[in-house]
Amino acid sequence: MEMKLIFTNKGKNAIGNFENEELIEVFTRYSKTLMKKYDLVVSVPSEDNRDITADGTINVQLNDVKCDVQTFFKELARDVKVPLKKRLDAGETLDGVFKAELVK
């Protein structure tokens, strides 16, 4: 299963402060942590995410899904908000980070 995470306007501002490889690392690390709680396998392929900031999206692959995917992504959005907020300018807020959309 392939999902596309579409960043909100504030999410796009936040990811603009990161290099592409850093974003892949953040999403991979936080996904791996959540996989201990949720029954699925997530991968963030670098070949499908060549320019996350310009695209405003990140593509993820899901395998062996045996849980509620929307709940997983809600929790992932909450978790990745932490490192993204650290690079925002003082006074900037970050409410929603992204919305998940099923590709195939």
The sign of the CA dihedral 6, 20, 70, 92 is: negative
- Give 50's contacts (C-beta < 8 A, 6+ positions apart): 20
Q: Quick one: pLDDT at residue 62?
A: 96
What would the mean pLDDT of 11-23 be, rounded to a whole number? Answer: 93
Which DSSP string corresponds to 20-76?
HHHHHHHHHHHHHHHHTTSS-EEE--GGG-S-HHHHTEEEEEEES--S-HHHHHHHH
For the stretch 67-96, pLDDT in tens is: 999 999 999 999 999 999 988 877 788 888
Q: Which domain holds residue 43?
A: 2-102
Look at strands 2-7 and 98-102 and give their pairing.
Answer: antiparallel
Total domains present in the chain? 1
Main-chain phi, psi angles of 33, to 5 degrees: -65, -45
Q: Quick one: pLDDT at residue 87?
A: 87
